[in-house]
């Protein structure tokens, strides 16, 4: 191999504006990407990993955030000393970037073809015909089914996976030396994620590109990394070959991170078959009217949930898993009657939630509470934590003083300090906010908690803590949990039984251990085989 | 049938009841005010005997009940007959047509000036956010935004016509100069500079403020970062990625404001003595010229509805995610 690496970052320091939580977003970062190598930059939110990527591209929001020390060498040449005009020539040509959310990363007003063509217009002298041919070629390369028609499509007209392929095509079209991929599969379904990861590897092997791959997901890391660099709060804690970091991590932080990755081993089977059923849903149906013109006559309904039945026993955790569009969120909203179902019934101790009158509904809702995905969006930012938690009980007639006292106790139960009571949601971290969301739900002393992706917005280490809290509360308060998630690792860790949904239907259901060990339906098999890093068994680590 | 035609047809059909409602409502509202055309006429004549007044009322059909008058009016309107103007001694349609072009020039001129300059200044202010340029532009915007157009008009007449003598005080052309060909158009343009400026400055300030905010917002979006990562920069980035996306709220506002611009032109035309529809509206109210007034209201409603349909179509053309339906 030739000597000069594609990317060398030496002792990089990025300064934050005065008044930030720390003076430097990144300090003493050293990193090398060689030709044909995938280097994973791993860290939780706030670790500075995305800033490192933007620093290489020189896309930092300067001058507020800027490189204040160190060097970034692309093919041995310093990037930091270049003018903006020189940088524009490099970007898109010799180094390219792939972003997390392909929907927002593509211009909604331009066609896919136009957006790829723009790279060629910027960096080549090809004429219109030559560019068109190249665009079609690269779209075929990334396995877009019908390149010619994809060219004329707008980003909103193609699927999420296709959009990410377009992003990759855009990054690859000039055969760059370096590709920086910033969480490129985080927003995608597992099966799509698997395809995209495979595509990235395939492209990298074909062109010998160096890839700096930024992610928080150790599953993904295990899937593709050659070498790994772990960041925490702007500091490099550990780096080395993938095998060494994944299986023999040295630094306590790396060890803690890896220990927090949910293993794909389901909990031991609990004898729940004789526990009483607390919630029974039968024959739920829901369809949404599709958009279509009044005169065009195309108003087909989209069926989100068709003929769905399940039972939830006391103390049980039932996982509802599936990809986006499978109808799992619709189910969670119907059983809490946040959404009216078309037909079917949801029985909670012999009363039907679906047909309950307004007054009955209010008393029934006490028994079934929700925990939402985004704790920032689901907590009123202008209310104190104690008011947020006590609100429900007060509505249901608990005297204010008593409700407040109880709210403070609940904070302790969810492992928050009682001092948190008088603060506002924005003063907390994501994990703490989700604890508040959980406290709010259990304040009503429900029998059932419906949790819709409650840990999806959280970092792995925080995710593990919140999952542990949920399991602990379930056991202590004898709660039943309906747990909606797209993350099979999380489902494996927490759920006693799971329902696998596809296109509004249950394709497979059963005890988690059995479904994971011997999936029967082809869709379940596809889902399970798509879990990133499924061949890597996180080592059993003792965390100090 | 192509979907765009279906869409247009439906929008036009929807507009019919709207127009009908406006016409009936306006007719009844005008009847609520005391006095009628004959009163105004007699007042101008300096009085007349009761028998003459009675005969005039019969001749004009004003002795009938309000509902009969309304019905007669609507039947004629359905045949696009706007009636006779007693003040101008001409059919209302003729009166309107002879004045419409002045108002159209004024409105189109004012709105295009406001839009083009507002969008350009707003973009400039956003690109140099929080700099001296931005502060100057934003402060000027605030001043124009806060200044009533009639005050601005009078100030401009004072400065540019009376003191400096650069521009004519009023009217649409030099009477007695009998310009023809391009000289006539230059003359008209000179007469329109101040009215257009007076009418447009407040809207320019609106669009400037809105465009500035919108551009700042769009510049933070992911796809702009993608474009930068592709190597795009400078004008290409601004035109193709930022401005086109940032225009959307400005266009919404433009469509909504068309009726207030029409209202503003009444004031401006009166101040600058422009022989346009706005000024006509003013005199028609004073002279109780019901037919002319109704004709103006009809015309104004049509203009507002057409502009709304056009803005919706521009909106859909700019943003492919929006489908016309």
- Give B242→chain A minimum CA distance, Å: 9
Contact yes or no for A105 and B226 at CB 8 A: yes
pLDDT value, residue A106: 93
B1 vs A180, more confident: A180
Distances, alpha carbon B37 to alpha carbons A204, B31, B65, in Å: 85, 11, 15
A295 → chain B, closest CA residue: B6
Distances, alpha carbon A438 to alpha carbons A306, A371, A435, A466, in Å: 30, 6, 5, 9
> How many Å apart are CA B217 and CA B215, to the nearest integer?
5
pLDDT value, residue B62: 76
Beta bridge partners of A213: A40, A181
Contact yes or no for B226 and A92 at CB 8 A: no
pLDDT value, residue A204: 86
pLDDT value, residue B1: 56
> Domain boundaries in chain A?
7-259, 277-290+297-367+446-530
For residue B232, the chain A residues in CB contact (below 8 A) are 88, 92, 118, 122
| Fold matches, A7-259 and A277-290+297-367+446-530 | yes
Residues 6 or more apart whose CB falls under 8 angstroms from that of A73 comprise A7, A8, A9, A10, A79
A60 → chain B, closest CA residue: B225
Query: Shortest CB distance from A92 goes to which of B221, B223, B229?
Result: B229
Residue B81 has pLDDT above 80, yes or no: yes
pLDDT value, residue A1: 46
User: Does B123 reside within a domain?
Assistant: yes
Q: Does A107 touch chain B (CB under 8 A)?
A: yes
User: Does B299 reside within a domain?
Assistant: no
ipTM greater than cut 0.90:
no
Inter-residue contact B32 to B26 (CB < 8 Å): no
Residue A395 has pLDDT above 50, yes or no: yes
pLDDT value, residue B185: 84
B155: domain CATH number is 1.10.3720.10
Q: Does B165 touch chain A (CB under 8 A)?
A: no
> How many Å apart are CA B261 and CA B263, to the nearest integer?
5
> How many Å apart are CA A372 and CA A437, to the nearest integer?
8
Going by DSSP bridges, is the β-strand pair A235-241/A227-232 parallel, antiparallel, or unpaired? antiparallel
Query: Shortest CB distance from B223 goes to which of A105, A119, A156?
Result: A105
Residue A346 has pLDDT above 70, yes or no: yes
The torsion of the CA quartet A280, A281, A283, A287, rounded to 10 degrees, works out to: 180
Inter-residue contact A194 to A509 (CB < 8 Å): no
User: Which CATH homologous superfamily contains domain A7-259?
Assistant: P-loop containing nucleotide triphosphate hydrolases (3.40.50.300)
The full 3-state SS of A361-399, as one line of letters, equals HHHHHCCEEEECCCHHHHCCCCCCHHHHHHHHHHHCCCC
Residue B286 has pLDDT above 60, yes or no: yes
Q: Does A544 touch chain B (CB under 8 A)?
A: no
Going by DSSP bridges, is the β-strand pair A66-74/A227-232 parallel, antiparallel, or unpaired? unpaired
- Give A229→chain B minimum CA distance, Å: 23
- Give B300→chain A minimum CA distance, Å: 29
> How many Å apart are CA A460 and CA A141, to the nearest integer?
34
Residue A101 has pLDDT above 90, yes or no: no
DSSP readout, B148-179? -HHHHHHHHIIIIIIIS--S-SSSSS-TTT--
pLDDT value, residue A292: 46
Residue B208 has pLDDT above 50, yes or no: yes
Q: Does B5 touch chain A (CB under 8 A)?
A: no
> pLDDT-derived band of residue A37, with 50, 70 and 90 as boundaries?
very high
> How many Å apart are CA A373 and CA A100, to the nearest integer?
19
A24 vs B3, more confident: A24
Please state the rounded mean pLDDT for residues A502-509.
Answer: 90
Contact yes or no for B227 and A107 at CB 8 A: yes
Residue range A240-262, pLDDT digits in tens: 999 999 999 999 999 988 888 88
> How many Å apart are CA A129 and CA B32, to the nearest integer?
70
Q: Does B318 touch chain A (CB under 8 A)?
A: yes
Helices in A226-381 by DSSP H: which ranges?
242-247, 252-260, 328-335, 358-365, 375-378
Q: Does A84 touch chain B (CB under 8 A)?
A: yes
> How many Å apart are CA B314 and CA B91, to the nearest integer?
36
- Give B255→chain A minimum CA distance, Å: 20
Mutate to test the interface with B, among A105, A171, A294 (most CBs of B within 10 A): A105
Q: Does B131 touch chain A (CB under 8 A)?
A: no
Please state the rounded mean pLDDT for residues B5-13.
Answer: 88
Residue range A41-97, pLDDT digits in tens: 998 887 888 889 999 999 888 778 888 889 999 988 888 888 889 999 999 999 999
Q: Does A471 touch chain B (CB under 8 A)?
A: no
> How many Å apart are CA A343 and CA A345, to the nearest integer?
7
Contact yes or no for A59 and B223 at CB 8 A: no
A101 → chain B, closest CA residue: B222
Residues 6 or more apart whose CB falls under 8 angstroms from that of A525 comprise A519
- Give A270→chain B minimum CA distance, Å: 46
Query: Shortest CB distance from B230 goes to which of A84, A101, A122?
Result: A122
- Our count of domains for chain B comes to 1
Q: Does B233 touch chain A (CB under 8 A)?
A: yes
- Give A28→chain B minimum CA distance, Å: 25
Residue A295 has pLDDT above 80, yes or no: no
Residue range A167-220, pLDDT digits in tens: 999 998 998 999 999 988 887 888 888 888 988 888 888 888 999 999 988 889
Place of tokens 């599953």: A219
Largest CA distance in chain B: 86
> pLDDT-derived band of residue B325, with 50, 70 and 90 as boundaries?
low
Residues 6 or more apart whose CB falls under 8 angstroms from that of A405 comprise none
- Give A407→chain B minimum CA distance, Å: 39
A312 vs A544, more confident: A312
Q: Does A92 touch chain B (CB under 8 A)?
A: yes
Residue A293 has pLDDT above 50, yes or no: no
The span from the first CA to the last CA of chain B, in angstroms, equals: 14
> pLDDT-derived band of residue B113, with 50, 70 and 90 as boundaries?
very high
**How is residue A521 annotated by DSSP?**
S
User: Does B256 reside within a domain?
Assistant: yes
Residue A299 has pLDDT above 60, yes or no: no
Please state the rounded mean pLDDT for residues A492-504.
Answer: 90
Q: Rounded to the nearest 10 degrees, what angle do helices B66-78 and B3-32 cross at?
A: 150
Contact yes or no for A105 and B222 at CB 8 A: yes
> How many Å apart are CA A463 and CA A455, to the nearest integer?
5
DSSP readout, B198-250? HHHHHHHHHHHHHHHHHHHHHHTSHHHHHHHHTT--HHHIIIIIIIHHHHHHH
pLDDT value, residue A291: 54
For residue A173, the chain B residues in CB contact (below 8 A) are none
User: What are the respective helix, strand and coil percentages of chain B, to the nearest 5?
Assistant: 80, 0, 20
Mutate to test the interface with B, among A56, A59, A88 (most CBs of B within 10 A): A88
Residue A544 has pLDDT above 60, yes or no: no
Q: Does B135 touch chain A (CB under 8 A)?
A: no
For the beta carbon of residue B177, count every other beta carbon within 10 angstroms: 10
Beta bridge partners of A498: A319, A510
A247 vs B182, more confident: A247
Please state the rounded mean pLDDT for residues B99-116.
Answer: 91
A380 vs B44, more confident: A380
Query: By residue range, what is the domain housing residue B115?
Result: 99-287
For the beta carbon of residue B325, count every other beta carbon within 10 angstroms: 14
Q: Does A299 touch chain B (CB under 8 A)?
A: no
> pLDDT-derived band of residue B182, with 50, 70 and 90 as boundaries?
confident
Place of tokens 């079209």: A173
Inter-residue contact B153 to B271 (CB < 8 Å): yes
User: Does B303 reside within a domain?
Assistant: no
Contact yes or no for B320 and A99 at CB 8 A: no
Please state the rounded mean pLDDT for residues A264-276.
Answer: 76
> pLDDT-derived band of residue A231, with 50, 70 and 90 as boundaries?
very high
Inter-residue contact A204 to A36 (CB < 8 Å): yes
> pLDDT-derived band of residue A280, with 50, 70 and 90 as boundaries?
very high
B60 vs A308, more confident: A308
pLDDT value, residue A143: 86
pLDDT value, residue A13: 92
- A85 alpha carbon, distance to own chain's centre: 36
User: Does B310 reside within a domain?
Assistant: no
Please state the rounded mean pLDDT for residues B93-100.
Answer: 89
**Average pLDDT score over chain A:** 87
B224 vs A302, more confident: B224
For residue B230, the chain A residues in CB contact (below 8 A) are 91-92, 96, 118-119, 122, 170
- Give A459→chain B minimum CA distance, Å: 22
CATH code of the region A277-290+297-367+446-530: 3.40.50.300
pLDDT value, residue A290: 57
What does residue A140 show for φ and ψ, rounded to 5 degrees?
-65, -40
Contact yes or no for A93 and B323 at CB 8 A: no
Residue range B229-281, pLDDT digits in tens: 998 888 889 989 999 999 999 988 888 888 888 888 888 988 888 888 888 88
For the beta carbon of residue A201, count every other beta carbon within 10 angstroms: 14
Beta bridge partners of A508: A500
């Amino acid at each position: 191999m030739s000597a000069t690496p594609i990317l060398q970052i030496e002792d990089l320091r990025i300064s934050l504006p005065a008044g930030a939580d720390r003076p430097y977003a990144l300090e003493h970062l050293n990193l090398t990407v060689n030709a044909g190598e995938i280097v994973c930059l791993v860290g939780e939110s706030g670790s500075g990993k995305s800033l490192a990527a933007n620093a290489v591209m020189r896309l930092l929001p300067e001058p507020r955030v800027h490189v204040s020390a160190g060097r970034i060498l692309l093919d041995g040449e310093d990037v930091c000393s270049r003018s903006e005009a020189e940088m524009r020539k490099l970007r898109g040509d010799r180094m390219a970037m792939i972003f997390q959310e392909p929907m927002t990363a593509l211009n909604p007003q331009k066609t896919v073809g136009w957006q790829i063509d723009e790279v060629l217009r910027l960096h080549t002298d090809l004429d219109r015909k030559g560019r068109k041919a190249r665009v079609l070629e690269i779209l075929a390369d990334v396995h877009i089914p019908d390149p010619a028609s994809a060219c004329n499509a707008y980003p909103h007209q193609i699927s999420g996976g296709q959009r990410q392929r377009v992003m990759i095509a855009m990054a690859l079209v000039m055969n760059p030396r370096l590709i920086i991929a910033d969480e490129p599969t985080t927003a995608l379904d597992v099966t799509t994620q698997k395809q995209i990861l495979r595509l990235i590897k395939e492209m990298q092997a074909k062109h010998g590109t160096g890839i700096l791959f930024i992610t928080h997901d150790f599953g993904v890391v295990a899937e593709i990394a050659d070498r790994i660099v772990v960041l925490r709060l702007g500091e490099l804690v550990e780096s080395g070959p993938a095998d060494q970091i994944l299986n023999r991590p040295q630094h306590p932080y790396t060890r803690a991170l890896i220990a927090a990755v949910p293993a794909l081993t389901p909990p031991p089977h609990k004898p729940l078959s004789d526990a009483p059923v607390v919630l029974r849903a039968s024959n739920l149906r829901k369809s949404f009217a599709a958009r279509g013109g009044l005169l065009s006559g195309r108003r087909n309904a989209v069926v989100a949930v068709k003929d769905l039945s399940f039972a939830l026993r006391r103390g049980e955790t039932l996982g509802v898993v599936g990809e986006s569009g499978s109808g799992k969120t619709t189910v969670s909203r119907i059983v809490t009657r946040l959404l009216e179902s078309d037909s079917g019934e949801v029985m909670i101790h012999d009363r039907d939630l679906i047909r309950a009158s307004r007054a009955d509904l209010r008393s029934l809702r006490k028994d079934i509470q929700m925990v939402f995905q985004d704790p920032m969006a689901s907590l009123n930012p202008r209310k104190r934590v104690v008011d947020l938690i006590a609100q429900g009980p007060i509505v249901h007639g608990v005297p204010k003083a008593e409700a407040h006292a109880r709210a403070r106790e609940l904070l302790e139960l969810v492992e928050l300090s009682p001092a948190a009571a008088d603060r506002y949601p924005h003063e907390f971290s994501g994990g703490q906010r989700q604890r508040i969301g959980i406290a709010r739900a259990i304040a009503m002393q429900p029998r059932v908690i419906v949790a819709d992706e409650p840990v999806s917005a959280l970092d792995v280490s925080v995710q593990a803590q919140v999952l542990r809290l949920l399991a602990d509360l379930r056991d202590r308060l004898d709660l039943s949990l309906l747990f909606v998630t797209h993350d099979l690792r999380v489902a494996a860790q927490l759920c006693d039984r799971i329902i696998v949904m596809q296109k509004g239907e249950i394709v497979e259901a059963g005890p988690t251990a059995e479904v994971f060990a011997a999936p029967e339906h082809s869709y379940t098999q596809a889902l399970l085989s798509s879990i990133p890093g499924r061949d890597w068994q996180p080592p059993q680590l003792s965390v100090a | 049938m192509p979907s765009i035609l279906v869409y247009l047809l439906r929008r036009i059909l929807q507009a019919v009841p709207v127009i009908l409602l406006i016409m009936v409502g306006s007719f009844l509202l005008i009847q609520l005010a005391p006095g009628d055309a004959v009163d105004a006429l007699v007042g101008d004549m300096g009085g007349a005997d009761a028998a003459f007044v009675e005969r005039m009322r019969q001749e004009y059909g004003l002795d009938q009940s309000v509902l009969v008058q309304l019905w007669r009016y609507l039947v004629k309107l359905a045949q696009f007959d706007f009636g006779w103007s007693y003040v101008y001694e001409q059919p209302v349609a003729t009166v309107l047509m002879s004045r419409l072009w002045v108002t159209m020039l004024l409105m189109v001129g004012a709105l295009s000036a406001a839009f083009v300059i507002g969008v350009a200044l707003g973009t400039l202010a956003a690109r140099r956010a929080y700099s001296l340029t931005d502060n100057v532009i934003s402060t000027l915007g605030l001043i124009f935004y806060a200044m009533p157009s009639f005050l601005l008009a009078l100030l401009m007449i004072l400065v540019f016509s009376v003191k400096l003598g650069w521009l004519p005080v009023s009217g649409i052309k030099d009477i007695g100069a009998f310009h023809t060909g391009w000289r006539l158009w230059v003359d008209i343009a000179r007469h329109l500079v101040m009215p257009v400026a007076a009418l447009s400055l407040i809207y320019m300030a609106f669009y400037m403020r809105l465009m500035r905010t919108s551009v700042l917002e769009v510049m933070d979006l992911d796809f702009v970062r993608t474009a930068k990562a592709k190597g795009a920069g400078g004008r290409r980035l601004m035109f193709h990625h930022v401005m086109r996306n940032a225009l959307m709220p400005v266009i919404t506002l433009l469509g909504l404001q068309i009726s207030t611009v029409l209202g503003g032109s009444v004031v401006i035309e009166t101040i600058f003595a422009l022989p346009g529809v706005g000024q006509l509206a003013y005199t028609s109210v004073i002279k109780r010229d019901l037919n002319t007034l109704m004709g103006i209201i009809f015309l104004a409603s049509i203009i507002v509805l057409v502009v709304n349909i056009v803005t919706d179509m521009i909106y859909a053309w700019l943003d492919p995610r929006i489908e016309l339906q």
